[in-house]
Amino acid sequence: MNKIDNIFFNAHHSPIGAFASFTLGSIGAKGGFGLELGRPAEHDVYIGLETENGDKFEALPFYEITNQEDESARYDVEHDDDSQPKWQSIAISPFDFGAVRREFDASRDSWRAGDLEFSIYSPVLPVPDPESSSEESLKNAIIPAVLVELTVDNSKGARARRAYFGFQAGEPKLPLRVISDDASGFRGLAQAASVAVVTDDSKCALGQAFSLDSALAGSKDGDSLFGLGEAGAVVVTAKAGEKRTWRFAVCFHRAGIVTTGLEASYYYTRFFPNLTSVASYALAHFDELKNAWRGFDADLRKSALSDNQKFMIAHSTRSYYGSTQMLDYDNKALWVVNEGEYRMINTFDLTVDQLFFEMEMNSWTVRNELDLFSKRYSYVDQVYFPGKPDELYNGGISFTHDMGVANQFTPASRSSYELPRLTGCFSYMTHEELVNWLCCALVYGERDFEWLTAQKELLTQCFESVLARDNPNPDARTGIMKLDSSFCSGGAEITTYDSLDASLGQSRGNVYLAGKCWAVYIGIERAFEKLGLSDLSKQAAAQARLCENSLIGAVKADGELPAIIGEDVDARIIPVIEGLIFPPLMGVADAVKIDGSHGDFVKTLKTHTERILRSGVCLFPDGGWKLSSTSGNSWLSKIYLCQYIARAILNIDGSHVTEDADAAHVAWLLDDENTYWCWSDQMVRGKAKGSRYYPRGVTSFLWLTESR
């Protein structure tokens, strides 16, 4: 990938399913080894090389560069500076920022400065279905470690030079400890039982002290270990004239039960009982792992995508993996994607956007999520028309917004997010999540008929539930949601766009949700047919027609669709086209063809989209996509999805769809105010204000399918 403008941005470097990240890239103590965090760990990360003349070390700037406070003062409370022998020290300064180069792929991230190169390898590959795969293949996918190569080019050097890789925790600081294993020959530094940096160079020296300079000075002739030291580094030596690459592994581990509500452990603990086993395996299988993890990047590099597109795919994929958590519950795998900074468990309106990536990589995870939603996180409600919360009609089944938060699974049928009596953020997403379950189920079911067959009853219930929210009177149905869940207790349902205004935030009459609902009718028509439920199939087909006719009928004279049907919300939104993504994946590709059976509807959406993609409506001044004409809050995950739909389904071309937009979106991500948070979703006029450190951006994966 080519050089990007601002190379000092944080990125996730994460194992799969360990809810762990070696986050790195922003200047300062902004990265580090994070376990189960909704933000970077804020460790000092130490990576440096002795200069040729040996007068000092030069370092990548991933630590607090100001002078360190002297931790020893907390123990030695009275002495002034002169009464004690000085701690040994050595000068360390950051490389000139301008002299640092970075190469950034999905599975490899590499910095070069002077004679030092530091590369992190992290996995991008399918997680095999644990019910039908070998231990070996699972280990390679979910080992809770990332790999590091540190290369020193001392080929022109006349003297040996030391290089190091180490760290110091943020607040509260904690002492490090030595970790080593004679059998497998690794050595390194760990913190408690949770994090370790290890190498297979048995000749490395370990330095540990209150500060890195003391650790480096002390370890000149071998290990120098001060057990109270919170700073430490693994120090290797390049001989005069030598160019050499060292292998490291950054290992994560958390044993035992890690969640409440459902008491689960990490799946990897089946194979890796502790840090030592992770370290041994990672170093012993270094090449095998690295090669397995690099395949996705080979495809990415071969593709015809632009550098900006490749950058966003790589970046968003990393942040997805940083939120993944493969648990072992009731002796089976339980797949979790945590919701970035919010740490909500399997937020369903994210699942539906991560669907495309997961279907390609490991479709069993989709089944796994759907099954837990239907078994534990579903509920049955009643519904009411706006303003009449006391006139209740039968509702039906739906699914919770999430399964809990911060490793705490909520009780059955309860999300951590949804509250009654609201009309905005934190209200119920009953219709949204019902539609999302159906979208996911119909896409997954298209590939797994046995599973689909098992859902026959549930699909029927879901369909009836969607109908109930259209109108209790069958004759009055329009294919559009009109009733809110009784759980709202007088409030109103919202969509996933919870922090936007009514143009996208309100569920009732919303064309975004209507578009996805249309897709459900299209898909379920086919599913019911296949399941031998032809009456229901016909009813679904009729609902699809009602829905598209309602939308077509709502088009204004200028050819644009309002955001909300039947209420006075005259905004314009891009996501009305979101639904178009699904029919082809549900086995009904024809439905989204402009000359297909639903061509008028598709044409309507195309015209709408072409018209609103103009500055002042649904384009920001910088060319970035503005999901709603009336909100400054635009979400990159959804933009990526809609860019794909515009191009691949609606055949809308132009630099405003791709090059100009991508340039603006990359500029958002690399804005200095945003780079701390790796990949973020919610951008308010280009600033990451919410949904930061976020998994949802893997909608960008769809772009890769365009160039196939």
| Chain positions contacting a second copy, by CB under 8 A | 37-39, 72, 74-79, 83-85, 172, 174-175, 177-178, 190, 192-193, 226-228, 255-257, 260-261, 341-342, 344, 404-408, 410-411, 414-417, 419, 421-426, 491, 498-501, 631-633, 682, 684, 689-690
Instruction: Give the shortest CB-495-to-a second copy separation in angstroms.
Output: 14
Residue number, 526 or 572, with CB nearest to a second copy: 572
Alpha-carbon distance values, 253 to 100, 232, 233, 274 (Å) = 32, 19, 20, 6
Residue number, 82 or 475, with CB nearest to a second copy: 82
Cβ–Cβ < 8 Å for 412, 372? no
Alpha-carbon distance values, 13 to 27, 33, 104, 192 (Å) = 16, 9, 11, 21
Cβ–Cβ < 8 Å for 437, 370? yes
Residue number, 85 or 474, with CB nearest to a second copy: 85
Count the Cβ atoms, other than its own, within 10 Å of residue 130. Answer: 21
Q: Pull the structure tokens for residue 676.
A: 């701390």
Residue number, 263 or 299, with CB nearest to a second copy: 263
Instruction: Give the shortest CB-8-to-a second copy separation in angstroms.
Output: 24
Instruction: Give the shortest CB-422-to-a second copy separation in angstroms.
Output: 6
Instruction: Give the shortest CB-501-to-a second copy separation in angstroms.
Output: 7
Reference 57, options 237, 244, 214, 216; nearest CA is 216
Residue number, 121 or 342, with CB nearest to a second copy: 342
- Is residue 57 classed as helix, strand or coil in its secondary structure? strand
Instruction: Give the shortest CB-638-to-a second copy separation in angstroms.
Output: 15
Instruction: Give the shortest CB-170-to-a second copy separation in angstroms.
Output: 11
- Buried (b) or exposed (e) across 531-549, using 16+ Cβ within 10 A? bebeebbebbbebbebbbe
Instruction: Give the shortest CB-2-to-a second copy separation in angstroms.
Output: 32
Residue number, 148 or 169, with CB nearest to a second copy: 169
Residue number, 598 or 696, with CB nearest to a second copy: 696
Which stretches does DSSP call E strand in 471-589? 484-485
- Is residue 615 classed as helix, strand or coil in its secondary structure? strand
Instruction: Give the shortest CB-375-to-a second copy separation in angstroms.
Output: 19
Cβ–Cβ < 8 Å for 115, 57? no
- Buried (b) or exposed (e) across 640-665, using 16+ Cβ within 10 A? bbbbbbbbbbbebeeebbbebbbbbb
Residue number, 192 or 594, with CB nearest to a second copy: 192
User: Rounded to whole angstroms, how far apart are CA atoms 368 and 355?
Assistant: 12
The region that residue 331 occupies, defined by phi over 0 for left and psi between -120 and 50 for alpha, beta otherwise, is left
Residue number, 79 or 556, with CB nearest to a second copy: 79
The runs of H, that is alpha helices, within 406-490 are: 430-447, 449-454, 456-470
Instruction: Give the shortest CB-245-to-a second copy separation in angstroms.
Output: 30
Residue number, 631 or 658, with CB nearest to a second copy: 631
Residues 6+ away with beta carbon under 8 Å from 619: 613, 625, 626, 656, 661
Reference 296, options 320, 279, 323, 278; nearest CA is 320
Residue number, 269 or 643, with CB nearest to a second copy: 269
Instruction: Give the shortest CB-319-to-a second copy separation in angstroms.
Output: 18
**Phi, psi at residue 660, to the nearest 5°?**
-65, -40
Instruction: Give the shortest CB-195-to-a second copy separation in angstroms.
Output: 12
Q: How many helices (H) and strands (E) would you count in the chain?
A: 18, 28
User: Rounded to whole angstroms, how far apart are CA atoms 645 and 368?
Assistant: 27
Residue number, 72 or 363, with CB nearest to a second copy: 72
User: Rounded to whole angstroms, how far apart are CA atoms 626 and 621?
Assistant: 10
User: Rounded to whole angstroms, how far apart are CA atoms 385 and 393?
Assistant: 9
Instruction: Give the shortest CB-490-to-a second copy separation in angstroms.
Output: 11
Residue number, 447 or 689, with CB nearest to a second copy: 689
Instruction: Give the shortest CB-102-to-a second copy separation in angstroms.
Output: 29
